[in-house]
Amino acid sequence: MAKLNNLFLLILFLLATAIMRVPAHKGEIVGDIETDPVVEDKFAFPPGTEGDEGFDDEPELSPKQLKYLQDCAKKMTPECAKEVFAYMFEDMVVTDQCCELLIKMGEPCHLGLVKTIMVIPEYKANASYAIPRSKQVWNKCAALVGAHSPSPIPLEI
């Protein structure tokens, strides 16, 4: 029960949102993005943590996994976490600044937080919509941040 309370507090901190309930988007396809089971396989906790066996069935996290996700959440501001969350569930816009923070946080952190949120019953019903949107926001932000990165200085031969 304490682990569940810690998870709940982590998600409240991360989301920092007043969104209490989101409508289900069953059967919707967003653009050409489809639910990709590979998302589930991409996420792994860092070496040295206990495995994520049974992770989809019960939101039980080891202390190392919880610390990992807390460290991930600290890399985003509450405002940016709200933007990313709103993008996943409500088609809201993510600012360039929040895209930069998302990319700096890293894809394993992003996918880990998304996967953790999707086991919560209130959000699990919307996973078929939100998971593809989480991939979409990652790809859009990666392209945006890559487009703003300075070109390397050419070598003179």
Mean pLDDT, 10 residues at a time, over the chain (157 residues)?
A: 45 39 36 36 41 48 91 95 94 94 95 92 91 96 80 59
Q: What's the predicted TM-score (pTM) here?
A: 0.60
pLDDT at 31: 36
Instruction: Kindly report the backbone phi and psi dihedral angles of residue 37, in degrees, each rounded to the nearest multiple of 5, phi listed first.
Output: -65, -15
Domain boundaries of the chain, sorted by first residue: 2-16+57-148
Structure tokens at 3: 């682990």
The answer to whether 145 touches 99, Cβ cutoff 8 Å, is yes
pLDDT at 91: 81
